Chain A
Amino acid sequence: MTRSPLRIFFATGSWAILAFLVLPILVVIPVSLTDTSFIGLPREHLSLQHFDTFLHSPEWLHATWTSVWIGVIVGAASTTLGTAFCIGCWFLSDRAAMIARWVMIVPILVPPVVQSLGFYKFWVTLGLIDTHFGVILAHTLLALPYVTISVFAALTNLDRRIPQAARNLGAPLGMAIRTVILPSIRPGMITGAIFAFIVSFDEIVGVLFLTVRRVETLPKMIWEGIQESVDPVIAAVATILVFITLLVTAAAVARSYVASKPQAS
C-alpha cells in the first residue's frame, strides 16, 4: 500500500477523532478510584470507597434494580407489540401500512421535553403520575420506534414465498407466523429488545416529568447527583456502566475478528 498524503491525513485524523470519542468517557474510571470525598483524581492512593458506598446504599441499589426491571418489562412489551405490528405491515405492504410505520417512528422526531410535557398532562388525567406503570407505558412508547425499525429490517430480508408456501400447505396464519416467520426474524427481534431495554434504562427527561418521590430510577439518581452534590459515587456508578459497555463492545469486536478470519487467510 502506498502512503499518500491523503491517506496519512485520513488515518491520523481518524485516530485523533476516535481518541476524542473514547478517552473523555474513560476519565470516569480514575475519578471513581479517588481517595477524596470530592470529584477529582486520586491524591494519596487508590480507593474503592465509592464503589463500597454504592454497593451499600439502599437508595442507589433500589434505583438500579427499578431501572433494570422496568427496562426488562419495556423490552418485552415493546418487542411483542412491535413485532406483531411489523408482521402485519409486512403482509399488508400497502400505502396504509407505510403510513402506520411512519406514525410508529414519530417519537424519534419529537423533542424529549415536548413529548414529556404531553405525557405529563395526559398522565395527570389518567392518574399515572409517580407510578411505575406510568413510566413503563411512556418508555414502551419511546422504545417502539427502535423495535419496529430493527424488526422490519429483518423482515425485508425474508422471502415472501416462504410463509406463502406454509399457508398454501394449509398452515393457519398464526401457525405460519409462529413456525416460519418468527424464527427467521429472531435476530431483529433480539436487537430490538436490547435497544428497547437501553432506551428505557437510560431515559431521563420523561422520568423527570412523570415521577416525584415514589419512583426512583438510576438516571434520575445520577441527574440529581450531578445537580446537587459533587459526590464521587456518581463516578463509581458511571465506571460500572462504562465497564459493562466496554466488555460487551470488546466481545462484539473480538467476535467480528474471529468471523472475518477465514476470509482474510
Chain B
Amino acid sequence: MNEKLRYWMLVLPALAVMILFYIWPVLNIWGISVTEPSAGLGNYTRMFDSNAVRVSFVLTFRVAAITTILCLLLGYVLAYTISNFATRVRPLMLGLVLLPFWVSVLIRSFAWIVLLGRSGLVNDALMDAGLISTPIRFMHNELGVLIAMVHVMLPFAVLPMLTNMRGIDGSYMRAARGLGASEWRAFREVYFPQTLPGVFSGGLLVFVLSLGFYITPALLGGGRVMMISEYITYQIQEFLNWGLGAALSVALLVATAIVLLVAARFVNLRKTFLERS
C-alpha cells in the first residue's frame, strides 16, 4: 500500500467523524435560518430590524471587550510576577492560577451567586457591619456578569502570557539596566514590547470565548443582561423560534470569524489555538 495512503488511514476516522457530526450540523444551521418557519430571508430581515437584537449584540461586544481588557491588565501583573520575581513561590502561584481553571464554570458561577446575591454573603456582611441598610444589587446586572466573567476568563489570559514571558531572554533587560535605564524605563521600552505577542494571544482567546459565552452571563445576569448566546436560547425555549435562533447563530458565527480574520493580522493564530501549551 502507498505510504501516504496509510497515514491518511490514521487521520481519516477522527476527521470523518468531525466533519460528518460537527462541521456538517453547524453549517446546516444556515439551512435552518432560511427555511424555518418559511423559505426566504425573513429571519434575517427580522433580525436586522429588531432593536432587541441590536441591543444584545452591542451588549455582547461591550461585555467581551471589557472582560478582555480587565483580564489582560490583571493577567499581565500576575504573569509578570510569576515569570520574573516569584522564584520561590512560583509553583504555588501557578497552582493558584490553575486551581480555578480546573473548577467547572458552573460551580464558579454558583459561588459568585452565593456571594453577590440579594441576600448573599457580601450583602449580609455589609448589612451586619452596619455599612448599608438595604442590599446593594451586585448581580442581575452587568456588574455581576463582568465580575464573574473576569474570574472565569483570567486563567485563559494568564497562560499564553506566561508561555511568552518564559521565552524572553533576561539579558536584554540587564543590558538596558546596565546602560543606565531606570527599572520602569527598561520595562516599558525593552521588556513590554517583547511580551506583546503573548498579550495579543491571551486577549484574542478571552475575547472569542467571551463572545459566545452562555453559562455565566445567563446565571449572573438573571435574564436582565441578555448576551447573544442567551438571546438565542431564549428565542428557542420561550418562542420555539428556531428560524430566528438559527439566523442569530449564523450572525454570531460570522462575527466570531471576522474577529479571527482581523486578529490574524496581529496575532499568530497558529500559536494561539493550534499549539496552545
**Chain A residues with Cβ under 8 A from B175's Cβ?**
none
Q: With A and B bound together, what is the CA distance between A102 and B245 in angstroms?
A: 27
Q: Pick the contact of B103 from A109, A118, A242 — CB < 8 Å?
A: A242
Interface SS, B side? helix
B239 touches A (CB below 8 Å): no
Residue of B nearest to A99 (CB): B15
Q: Is the CB of B81 within 8 A of A106?
A: no
Q: Contact mask B115-155 → A, CB, 8 Å, 1/0?
A: 10101010010000000000000000000000000010011
Residue of B nearest to A177 (CB): B10
**Chain B residues with Cβ under 8 A from A20's Cβ?**
74, 151
Residue of B nearest to A110 (CB): B26
Q: Is the CB of B86 within 8 A of A14?
A: yes
Q: Contact mask B75-97 → A, CB, 8 Å, 1/0?
A: 00110111011100001111111
Most chain B CB within a 10 A radius of its CB, from A11, A17, A118, A253: A118
Interface residues of A in 135-178 (CB under 8 A from B): 137, 140-141, 144, 148-149, 152-153, 156, 173
Q: Is the CB of A106 within 8 A of B23?
A: yes
B232 touches A (CB below 8 Å): yes
Q: Is the CB of A6 within 8 A of B114?
A: no
With contact pairs A20-B151, A110-B253 given, residues A241 and B104 touching in the complex (Cβ less than 8 Å)? yes
Partner-contacting stretch, out of B42-50, B193-201, B207-215: B207-215
Partner-contacting stretch, out of B51-59, B164-172, B269-277: B269-277
Interface residues of B in 1-55 (CB under 8 A from A): 4, 6-15, 17-19, 21-29, 32
Q: Contact mask A84-119 → B, CB, 8 Å, 1/0?
A: 110111011000010011111111111111110111
Q: Is the CB of A202 within 8 A of B106?
A: yes
**Chain A residues with Cβ under 8 A from B19's Cβ?**
103
Residue of B nearest to A104 (CB): B18
User: How many residues belonging to A are interface residues under a CB distance threshold of 8 Å?
Assistant: 85
Q: Is the CB of B183 within 8 A of A111?
A: no
Q: Contact mask A240-265 → B, CB, 8 Å, 1/0?
A: 01100110111011001100100000
**Chain A residues with Cβ under 8 A from B6's Cβ?**
173
Q: With A and B bound together, what is the CA distance between A212 and B22 in angstroms?
A: 21
Q: Contact mask A61-97 → B, CB, 8 Å, 1/0?
A: 0000000000000000000011011011101100001
Q: Pick the contact of B110 from A6, A11, A173, A222 — CB < 8 Å?
A: A222
Minimum CB–CB distance from A151 to chain B (whole Å) comes to 11
**Chain B residues with Cβ under 8 A from A28's Cβ?**
107, 110-111, 114
**Chain A residues with Cβ under 8 A from B260's Cβ?**
109
Q: Contact mask A1-30 → B, CB, 8 Å, 1/0?
A: 000101100110110011011101101100
Q: Is the CB of B249 within 8 A of A113?
A: yes
A41 touches B (CB below 8 Å): yes
Q: Pick the contact of A113 from B108, B119, B233 — CB < 8 Å?
A: B233
Residue of B nearest to A246 (CB): B99
A121 touches B (CB below 8 Å): yes
**Chain B residues with Cβ under 8 A from A89's Cβ?**
7, 11
Q: Is the CB of B91 within 8 A of A222?
A: no
Q: With A and B bound together, what is the CA distance between A14 and B92 in angstroms?
A: 12
B61 touches A (CB below 8 Å): no
**Chain A residues with Cβ under 8 A from B232's Cβ?**
113-114, 117
Q: Is the CB of A21 within 8 A of B100?
A: yes
Q: Is the CB of B7 within 8 A of A92?
A: yes
Q: Which residues of B contact A (CB under 8 A)?
A: 4, 6-15, 17-19, 21-29, 32, 74, 77-78, 80-82, 84-86, 91-100, 102-115, 117, 119, 121, 124, 151, 154-155, 183-184, 187, 208, 211-215, 219, 229-230, 232-233, 236, 242, 245-246, 249, 252-253, 256, 260, 273-277
User: What 14 additional pairs, Cβ within 8 angstroms, besides A117-B32, A238-B111?
Assistant: A11-B86, A21-B155, A24-B151, A82-B14, A85-B10, A89-B11, A100-B11, A104-B14, A114-B29, A115-B25, A137-B21, A141-B17, A198-B102, A252-B95
Q: What are the nearest 4 A-B pairs in CB distance?
A: A111-B212, A88-B10, A88-B11, A118-B25
Q: Which residues of A contact B (CB under 8 A)?
A: 4, 6-7, 10-11, 13-14, 17-18, 20-22, 24-25, 27-28, 31, 39-41, 81-82, 84-85, 87-89, 91-92, 97, 100-115, 117-119, 121-122, 137, 140-141, 144, 148-149, 152-153, 156, 173, 198, 201-202, 204-205, 219, 222-223, 226, 234-235, 238, 241-242, 245-246, 248-250, 252-253, 256-257, 260
